[in-house]
Each structure stands twice: as C-alpha cells, then as structure tokens.
A and B are shown apart, each in its own frame.
Chain A
Amino acid sequence: MTPAEPVDPPNPPLSRSARHRNQIIAMTGLVTVWVLLWGTLSWANVISGLVVAAILIAVFPLPPVTFAGRIHPLGMLRFWRRFLSDLVVASAQIAWLALRPRHVPRSAIIAVPLRVNTDLNLTLTAEALTLVPGSLILEADRTTGTLFVHVIGVNSRDEVEQFRRSVYDLEARIIEAVGSADELRRVRTAGYPNPLAHLEGEPT
C-alpha cells in the first residue's frame, strides 16, 4: 500500500482468509438480524438463523468489501455520541430552515476527495454524511474516492470551506472507530488536503 497516493486500486483481489473473514462477518450480521426479528435468544433461533444466513450467502454472494481494520471501542463510542448529537442538531436546523418565514435557503455542491479510499470508508462516510447537519450525499466516485456533497444553509465561500473541513473530521472519526493502523496514520498525517488542486473545478 502506498500512502498519500489517492488512486491505488480500491479493490485489491482478496486472499482466501480475507474472504473467509468477510463471510463470517456477513453471517454474524444476518444471524443478529434474524434473532432480533424473533426477539428471543434461543438455540433454535440461532441455529435456524445460521441455516438461513448460509443459504442467503450461497445464493446471493455479497460483493467483496475489504474490512482491513479492527473495531476500536473508544473510537466507536466517540463516533456514536457525536453522531447522535449531530443528528439532533441536523433535524433542528432543517426544522428551523423550514419554519423560518420568507427565507429561501442557499446551498452548494462540493467535492470532497477522501484521504482513505476504501469502499468501506466511502460507504460509511457517505451514509453518516446524509444524517449530520447540512449535508447530503449526491454522488460517489470510487476510482478517486471522491464524495460529492450537497450542503444546505451556507451563505458564503468561507462557510463552504469550513464545511469541507467538517467532512474530513467526520471521516477521521470513522477511521478512528473502524480503521486499520495504516489508515489511521494516513488520516493523522494528511491534514486537510486542498481539493481544488485535485479537481481543478472552477466555481460556477
């Protein structure tokens, strides 16, 4: 892996053990949903869940998603706490914008090339972005790892740049929750990249 090089292939071919690991993660997830659906944790539920999950994975194989990192409990906790408070702030902001009389909110569409270009990070950041204040994911470019984000309620270019930095902060929180050591290092050393150098997009 080459750090600081944003265009390394996002999906390197998986080794046998990595594929095995992915299947185990998928199985665990499916069994958890199954048990939650039935509502009681019993052997019958777990075993029938395993059977259903095995059939599902055999019939509908999941696209390979590399989960290279490990789960950091502290980072996870920090991420969820911030995420929930962000969700409340976001809802209050939209409610205020909606109820404010005679005001048409202005918005912007910005490109944010992420520092860690893996499918997992791209997906998680995009999902979380939609639920935090002001942002909505419009398009994701997998080859360059760039997210295109619609931002509501911004009034100046400065606020747009400020917002771009908050997207990077969100990415850093996600990497601190589920990233590998290599990804963590990249996020910590890269700082805030300059997006215009990468995209050459003139403001319209």
Chain B
Amino acid sequence: MTLDAVLDIVAAVCLISGALLSLAAGVALVRFPDLLTRMHAAAKPQVLGLLLVLVGCALRLRTGVDITTLVLVGIFQLATAPVAAHMIGRAGYPHEEIRTDLLLTDELAAHLDRLAGERDEVRA
C-alpha cells in the first residue's frame, strides 16, 4: 500500500469521526434540558469534531499553504469557542430558565447574593 493510500484512509477516518461528533453535538443540543448543558454540547464535541474534519482535510490536500490556513482555523476555533461560551453563560446565568432542580449545588448564586448584600450596605 502506498503512502498516499494510507493518508487517504486516515483522512477518511478523521472526516467520518468528525462528522459523527458534529451529529452528537446536534443531538445534545436537542435533548439537553437547559441552556447551560446545551452550551457543553456547543463547546466540546463541536470543537473536536471540527478539528478532526480539518485534520482530515489537511491530510487530503497535503500542501503547505493550505495546511497553514487550516491550522489557523483550528487555532481560532480552540481560542474562541471557550470565550463565546463564557460570554453566553454570563449573559444567561441568573435570567434564563435554568433547571435549578437538576443542580446539586449553586455556589454562584450564593456569591451573587453576597455581592448584592455588600452593595446594599454601601448604599445604606
């Protein structure tokens, strides 16, 4: 078997597993109960799935110029997905419908209560 054929097979495996992970992210988006759990789906399987597809693509194209572009896309994805998730989590946390009955503990609520208390003391 030639090197080209091996690379093609590895690329095919990467592409298919990446697509499977994207599908898992889609299923998780539909099935998870609230915003925060859905954000997990957007953060992890989506990022890894996309990275795998990019690796598969790079293995098929095999030229320097294209690989650097793909690397850049991958770096952007790794660097920005957590930041986007953080921003949405901050915007959504106290307001949106979060299934508190599914939470074992909520230490952020306690923290926000204390901050509000301190603010009231300053005002008084």
Q: Which residues of A contact B (CB under 8 A)?
A: 33, 35-40, 87-88, 90-91, 93-95, 97-99, 104-111, 126-131, 133-134, 136-141, 146, 148, 150, 152, 154-157, 160, 195, 199-204
Contacts and interface: CB of A to CB of B under 8 A. Distances in A.
A37 B72 contact: yes
Contact of B93 (A93, A131, A139, A204): A139
B15 interface: no
A95 B28 contact: yes
Given A111-B111, A204-B100, 7 more contacts: A98-B27, A109-B106, A130-B82, A131-B81, A150-B39, A160-B104, A201-B110
A194 to B, nearest CB: 13
A106 to B, nearest CB: 5
B95 to A, nearest CB: 13
Interface residues of B, number: 48
Interface of B: 21, 24-25, 27-28, 31-33, 36-37, 39-41, 43-45, 47-49, 64-66, 68-69, 71-72, 78-79, 81-83, 85-86, 89-90, 93, 100, 102-111, 114
Contacts, number: 164
A131 B78 contact: yes
Contacts of B71: 36
Nearest to A128: B82
A154 B37 CA distance: 12
A38 B72 CA distance: 10
B6 to A, nearest CB: 22
A188 to B, nearest CB: 26
Contacts of A139: 89-90, 93, 108
12 contacts: A38-B68, A39-B64, A91-B21, A91-B49, A94-B45, A95-B24, A108-B106, A109-B107, A148-B111, A154-B104, A155-B104, A157-B104
A138 B83 CA distance: 10
A94 B106 CA distance: 21
B110 A204 contact: yes
Contacts of A127: 79, 82-83
B54 to A, nearest CB: 13
Contacts of A90: 44, 48
A104 B34 CA distance: 10
Instruction: In the A-B complex, list the 6 residue pairs whose CB atoms are closest, starting with the nearest.
Output: A201-B110, A39-B65, A98-B28, A130-B82, A95-B24, A111-B107
